[in-house]
Structure 1
């Protein structure tokens, strides 16, 4: 019922845009409800309940664009928002790339005039008292796991649900709803300058898919204790294995480099790379927007364009860029239905779990944490602080921290030796651990 109400508001706003003389218009409406709590050392630190609403209107007068937004649903405020958007558009310059996505590309609803939801709506009836109890139980399970854990950065529990409608003057009206829940804990072990911090978390669209608070606390404790007593390693060139939860950052750098905004601004190390071999010939990345309970599943993108299963990388070759309609026009291409981002990426594996990958690597560095932002988007040069474990003969020998790993992303992509089967399910980028054949490691010795 609330989605229908937002859809009706969207249609009223589009009608007013037309009456004001707009040649095209689009409206986005959203409502979000959430609850989050944080505890630390057995005490409640914050309890926050949120309820947000937003209405955004964009109008086009030919190829002149204007936008305005409001959180007020009263008729006068909605009318003023349209008036402001139209006033802005009348004084802007023409932009040849401006306008709605092509009408022929709009998604079409199924039976009953609705789009599929992909099992993404699982509200959690969680009140503040229960949320606090769960967070306290999570932290207690971690703190009680070992006497060496003497401090905590706290535990958190959150739940959120959202409703959204996008509509435009092509006649497209798309409604979506989704839920998102999480539990996390971060602990501190050791004393003085020898203290180490780590944690664990679980996120899911359905509460039933979350790990238990106790399991999360114990995992946080195990990870924190494993980092005690780090030792330096010799500076040199070594194989580097990115554990699955940090490996997806490599995919993130790829996405940034092949996104339309970076490409038309000429701010990417992968300019003019579509159709070229960037990865080994066994490597592939596929976009899967229709996954059940996928974190980014959707039948349409932020412009109403129909999504589809599509290869981003196949046989190591970059098949396409990641484009919305504006960036596509700037590049002389067609949108890839990625306005608003990608929808569930799956990276194919060619290796076993993490233990098997350690054995195959033999001697090298296992990276479990990355720090800093040392990536040059224009050249692909990569240099980041890291922490993890030194590996010899396929076995973890000791933890390391305060090191730097460096290379060039183009070379790193080409030198990927393996992708593991140990997929981290807590992201829309689903990848196992990634082994890069060789990188420069400054180990502090």
Structure 2
């Protein structure tokens, strides 16, 4: 599957570190990775793309005191690696000193990494991948004659491994896999104004191919979502409760992570500056970081600097308990790294009020009358002041029942207010990337329409 064994990668990482020291580096870090994969897409049964990738990347960071330089290569030959070390050393020589630069403290490094079961290659060939994508489209077209077209279906199988080493005692790496199946059908219907068309999509993703949903089910669910959008119309501008469907609610969690990440905090470009110990969410909310859950996308025994990861409550009863810091950003803030070089690990947003029965229909009943949002368009998030404004698609709900689909609207508010106004979180939990949450009900937002 890979052209190098872990032992060979380790040998090359050690070579890079030795070369850096020989040139006169105070410290150094090096990482090598390689990956391979297959991605295909079809549209209405015809093959659109077939991509096979073979990736190799070497990177070395050199420190001369508190001056830093880094360089990379895609060739693992000794000559190429030596050239990368020389380039990194040369850059460091001509870089200004930075009193926060340097490797992570040795006592924070992971010495005995856990095996988190992250590598499950999907042994499919091109013909099999194409057939899986066609199955997803067939599943969509089988739902209704109103599914008249398709923006395609895709299948991807990816696997990679890496090795990271530092001159202060860290050496570790592991293999990972990630696979997905997606489908985007188009529904159409005749109206007085002519033909109306709507599209929607759905996907399934996992590190483990056997855990992917059946391609026919992916296509069928995507088709039902597209059909449900037919007959959409705008509504008048108003203030009302807004329920974010779980796949979109993950984005709100992402906004929180962005605002409490070290880079945004030390640059003072966050609306949550100095929020440690502050009540940011209601008392019923907790946010957990769980990096050691087997097989999940956000799981990792150590971060990109070799710092050990740990389970922690990032938010406890609505109060911020910790940020997301790398070694550099932590030093900038006068704090200690949280093991988040490279980003957050597996995050779980939970409400102490959530019951097992709080599925999406139950959440609609909790909302009563308001807007269920299922799609967002545009960026529209200002992380400096928290202002939030996005184009949206969704469903108008009255007395807990969907009345009609809604389009050509915007939803707006401020993230500080939105976080404090989270009334409930559903049990309809979904995992998207490194984040996990159910649907999120916000008490009041501005909906801009006609």
**How does the TM-score come out when normalised to structure 2?**
0.96
Q: Secondary structure at the match of 2:444?
A: strand
Aligned to 1:397: 403
- The 2-side partners of 1:403 and 1:176 are apart by 46
- The 1-side partners of 2:303 and 2:349 are apart by 21
Structure 2: give runs of 5+ residues left out of the alignment: none
Aligned to 1:318: 320
Q: Secondary structure at the match of 2:263?
A: helix
- The 2-side partners of 1:252 and 1:315 are apart by 19
Q: What aligned pairs does 1:207-222 form with structure 2 within 5 A after superposition?
A: 207-222=209-224
Aligned match of 2:309 in 307, 310, 323?
307
Aligned match of 1:151 in 145, 149, 152?
149
Aligned to 2:387: 381
Aligned match of 1:105 in 89, 105, 108?
108
Q: Secondary structure at the match of 1:66?
A: strand
Q: Secondary structure at the match of 1:348?
A: strand
Aligned match of 1:418 in 424, 432, 437?
424
Residue 78 (structure 1) aligned with residue 81 (structure 2): yes
- Is the contact between residue 250 and residue 432 of structure 2 (CA under 8 Å) also seen in structure 1? no
Aligned to 1:30: 33
Deviation at 1:193, TM superposition (A): 5.9
Q: What aligned pairs does 1:185-264 form with structure 2 within 5 A after superposition?
A: 185-190=183-188, 194-264=196-266
Deviation at 1:426, TM superposition (A): 3.6
The total of aligned residue pairs comes to: 439
Structure 1: give runs of 5+ residues left out of the alignment: 110-114
- Is the contact between residue 204 and residue 426 of structure 1 (CA under 8 Å) also seen in structure 2? no
- The 1-side partners of 2:408 and 2:168 are apart by 54
Deviation at 1:428, TM superposition (A): 1.9
Aligned to 1:363: 369
- Is the contact between residue 372 and residue 384 of structure 1 (CA under 8 Å) also seen in structure 2? yes
- The 1-side partners of 2:406 and 2:374 are apart by 10
Aligned match of 2:72 in 38, 63, 69?
69
- The 2-side partners of 1:299 and 1:425 are apart by 19
- The 1-side partners of 2:195 and 2:31 are apart by 50
- The 1-side partners of 2:302 and 2:220 are apart by 40
- The 2-side partners of 1:336 and 1:402 are apart by 42
Q: Secondary structure at the match of 1:194?
A: strand
- The 2-side partners of 1:40 and 1:182 are apart by 17
- Is the contact between residue 117 and residue 298 of structure 1 (CA under 8 Å) also seen in structure 2? no
- Is the contact between residue 298 and residue 435 of structure 2 (CA under 8 Å) also seen in structure 1? no
**How does the TM-score come out when normalised to structure 1?**
0.97
Q: Secondary structure at the match of 2:121?
A: coil
Per-residue deviation, residues 387-426 of structure 1 (Å, max 9, x unmatched): 0111000011110111100000000001100011110134
Q: Secondary structure at the match of 1:85?
A: helix
- Is the contact between residue 117 and residue 177 of structure 1 (CA under 8 Å) also seen in structure 2? no
Indicate how the Cα distance of structure 1 residues 377 and 425 shifts in structure 2: closer, same or farther if over 3 A, else same: closer
Aligned to 1:169: 167
- Is the contact between residue 428 and residue 439 of structure 2 (CA under 8 Å) also seen in structure 1? yes
Calculate the aligned-residue CA RMSD, in Å: 1.0
Deviation at 1:139, TM superposition (A): 0.7
Deviation at 1:117, TM superposition (A): 2.5
